[in-house]
Chain A
Amino acid sequence: MADKPPLIFVVDDEPRIRTAVQRLLRTVGMEAQTFASSQEFLRMAPLDAPSCLVLDVRLRDANGLDLQRRLSESGVDIPIIFITGHGDIPMSVRAMKAGAVEFLTKPFSDQELLDAIQCAIERDRVGRQRRSELSVLRQQYSALTPREREVFPLVVSGLLNKQIAANLGTSEKTIKIHRSQVMQKMKADSFADLVRKAEKLQVSSSPSPKS
């Protein structure tokens, strides 16, 4: 994966805070892009880059929690750190339940913010890795023939070639060929690796295989 430096988005309607947070992040070598409203953020932020979002709960044009909901509804999986001048417990619970990384009460210390950002970036990295791995796996899976897709779940369920052959009403030799095709197309270097990939793809043996 390309190791692009992560971009931190800061959405707060208070210009003093945008400038100060941006300046603070620059001292630790992080680049921050700031926005005065949720509209501005939705319009201009390059959401495909590795990033995390530092978001004020109370914005002039919208509630930060609403922006969180809109992002997740449109499938944007960006880790969010909430900052608030008057955080109450129900609000922070709602934010955390909806997947926020952290809920910081203003004024927060630099360490609190940097720790939260570190954690958010890590979460973003893991998320991105998982998503790109999955898309590679899906590509590999789509190259399987219909017969190989039948054999795949039976193989990872731990059945022997002989049993699979009996199941599908064919010869053990044919199954052996299918198995090696699946291993090769899925780029699995061991049986255990194939099982892991099957789990990620949620491939499981059909409920009632032919007897």
Chain B
Amino acid sequence: MNFGIWTEVEERKPVEEQLRESEQRTRAFWDNSPNLIFLKDTKLRYLYVNRQFERALRIDREQIRGKSDLDLFAPEQASTFQANDLKVLEAGVPIEFEEVAQHEDGPHTSIVHKFPLLDAAGKIYAIGGIVTDITERIRSREALERAQEELERIARITMMGELTASIAHEISQPLTSIVSNANACSRMLSAKSPDMKEITAAVADIAEAATHASEVISGIRMLLKKGVLERAPVYLNEIIREVLTLTQGEILKNQIAMQTDLCAELLPIPGDRVELQQVVLNLIMNGIEAMTSIRNASRKLLIRSGTLEPDAVLVSVQDTGVGIDPRNMHRIFEPFFTSKLGGMGMGLSISRSIIEAHGGRLWAESQPNRGAVFQFALPILDGGAPWQISPR
């Protein structure tokens, strides 16, 4: 190492002393670094490690010298490290890797910056590595995400609860009038001389209250539709890619093999981008959740897009999860039906209502223990008039 500022001072000292001091300085930087630092030869044997490295593995650096990763780590970890080392040797340039290594206190995830060391002739004689431990960062980020998820879940349930209470109240008023009037009618009709005038009035009141109840319901429906329906060209492939980015963390966390098969010539459909995003997100999250309990088989999620007939597009989400119990098959799209612990049973029913509001269709197929496929089809055009789909 050469630290320019000091060169002038050093020139007055004997060469040996200069070398010794230089050596000490380098060592001081190495050993005070919070990062793990190592040096390997081209045969991938350790030449040198810093104090932080010794601490992490609880092993003396003299014992590490000359050993390879295969001597220090589990075989699959060691072979990953060595494969990365070889990439650096081949490329001849620094490369950054994310590696998981078993330390004395458990597995650590790190960003490892690996770089080649060149001799005077420009030949690689060693590999250096600087390891930045990001385990804690990942852990706190995951904890934060979990807390946010929980908060959102509670907010959704609270909102549903309040909504349900107000719907119940608004509907129960006209229903009370209807029930009481109907009961009064049947009592009056069984009298010896029924009071036709009063009966007519009661029946008119029943009709009026029923009309009011249906107005309340359509009002709620409008409320949930958040007013005017947005209709703009939507590219479903884009939506799928966006959602996959959003769910990247979940996919990695659950060790799921993602596969996409997206039709490149997919036509845009008229729709509400946010709503359709919600549908795709629901289907992917459902797929992931269906696979979390799968232990000794592969966890694969396949997302496909394509053209269905001449005037519709099709998106399918296929998982290798637990599948759908045939007894529940007809109920999964019902509101408040759920087979998941802590689930609210709204995801699929909302998804279906969104797809149907777009003039499309959402359905499921499943074989028990062999996964499920959820797919939806959406029309490209509606009666020849692009971007105009009536909501009902």
The answer to whether B179 and A86 have CB atoms under 8 Å apart is no
With contacts A16-B177, A107-B178, A109-B179 taken as known, whether A85 is within 8 angstroms of B172 at the C-beta atoms is yes
Residues of B within 8 A of A110 (CB): 179-180, 183-184, 187
Indicate if B89 sits at the interface (CB-CB under 8 A): no
How many angstroms from the CA of A20 to the CA of B172 in the assembled complex?
14
Residues of B within 8 A of A106 (CB): 172-173, 175-176
The answer to whether B168 and A19 have CB atoms under 8 Å apart is no
Interface residues of A (CB under 8 A from B): 14, 16-17, 19-21, 23-24, 26-28, 58, 83, 85-86, 105-110, 113
How many angstroms from the CA of A16 to the CA of B188 in the assembled complex?
19
How many angstroms from the CA of A99 to the CA of B126 in the assembled complex?
90
Cβ distance B164 to chain A, nearest Cβ, rounded Å: 9
With contacts A85-B168, A85-B169 taken as known, whether A27 is within 8 angstroms of B176 at the C-beta atoms is no
With contacts A14-B173, A107-B179, A108-B176 taken as known, whether A23 is within 8 angstroms of B184 at the C-beta atoms is yes
**The residue from A23, A28, A58, A113 contacting B181, defined by CB atoms under 8 A apart:** A23
**The residue from B169, B170, B180, B208 contacting A17, defined by CB atoms under 8 A apart:** B180
**What is the interface residue range for chain B against chain A?**
20 to 34
Residues of A within 8 A of B187 (CB): 24, 27-28, 110
The answer to whether A23 and B173 have CB atoms under 8 Å apart is no
Residues of B within 8 A of A14 (CB): 173, 176-177
The answer to whether A16 and B165 have CB atoms under 8 Å apart is no
B193-234 residues with Cβ-Cβ distance < 8 A to A are 198, 201-202, 205, 208-209, 212
How many angstroms from the CA of A26 to the CA of B197 in the assembled complex?
14
The answer to whether A20 and B177 have CB atoms under 8 Å apart is yes
With contacts A27-B187, A110-B184 taken as known, whether A20 is within 8 angstroms of B198 at the C-beta atoms is no
**The residue from A20, A27, A105 contacting B205, defined by CB atoms under 8 A apart:** A20
The answer to whether B198 and A23 have CB atoms under 8 Å apart is yes
Indicate if B174 sits at the interface (CB-CB under 8 A): yes
How many angstroms from the CA of A109 to the CA of B179 in the assembled complex?
7
Other A-B pairs, 19, CB within 8 Å; known A14-B176, A85-B168:
A16-B173, A16-B208, A20-B178, A20-B181, A23-B180, A23-B201, A24-B183, A24-B187, A26-B198, A27-B191, A58-B169, A83-B176, A85-B170, A106-B172, A106-B175, A107-B178, A107-B180, A108-B176, A110-B179
Residues of A within 8 A of B212 (CB): 16
Residues of A within 8 A of B176 (CB): 14, 16-17, 20, 83, 85, 106-108
Residues of A within 8 A of B165 (CB): 86
How many angstroms from the CA of A23 to the CA of B202 in the assembled complex?
8
Scoring B residues 96 to 125 as 1 if CB is less than 8 Å from chain A, else 0, what string do you get?
000000000000000000000000000000
- Name which residue of chain A comes closest to B173, CB basis: A14
Residues of A within 8 A of B179 (CB): 107-110
Scoring B residues 236 to 262 as 1 if CB is less than 8 Å from chain A, else 0, what string do you get?
000000000000000000000000000
Cβ distance B378 to chain A, nearest Cβ, rounded Å: 39
Considering the complex of A and B, which 10 residue pairs feature the smallest CB-CB distances, nearest first?
A110-B183, A20-B180, A16-B177, A85-B172, A27-B187, A85-B169, A107-B175, A106-B172, A106-B176, A107-B176
Residues of A within 8 A of B201 (CB): 23
A-B contact pairs, 9 of them (CB 8 A): A19-B177, A19-B205, A23-B181, A26-B184, A27-B191, A85-B169, A106-B175, A107-B180, A110-B187
How many angstroms from the CA of A23 to the CA of B185 in the assembled complex?
9
- Name which residue of chain A comes closest to B181, CB basis: A20
How many angstroms from the CA of A86 to the CA of B187 in the assembled complex?
28
Cβ distance B264 to chain A, nearest Cβ, rounded Å: 54
- Name which residue of chain B comes closest to A104, CB basis: B176
How many angstroms from the CA of A19 to the CA of B174 in the assembled complex?
12
- Name which residue of chain A comes closest to B168, CB basis: A86
How many angstroms from the CA of A67 to the CA of B201 in the assembled complex?
32
Residues of B within 8 A of A17 (CB): 173, 176-177, 180
The answer to whether B178 and A27 have CB atoms under 8 Å apart is no
Residues of B within 8 A of A109 (CB): 179, 183
How many angstroms from the CA of A119 to the CA of B168 in the assembled complex?
28
- Name which residue of chain A comes closest to B174, CB basis: A16
Residues of B within 8 A of A20 (CB): 176-178, 180-181, 184, 202, 205, 209
Residues of B within 8 A of A86 (CB): 165-166, 168-169, 172
- Name which residue of chain B comes closest to A105, CB basis: B172
The answer to whether B173 and A24 have CB atoms under 8 Å apart is no
Cβ distance A90 to chain B, nearest Cβ, rounded Å: 14
How many angstroms from the CA of A14 to the CA of B216 in the assembled complex?
15
How many angstroms from the CA of A173 to the CA of B201 in the assembled complex?
76
How many angstroms from the CA of A97 to the CA of B257 in the assembled complex?
60
Cβ distance A189 to chain B, nearest Cβ, rounded Å: 46
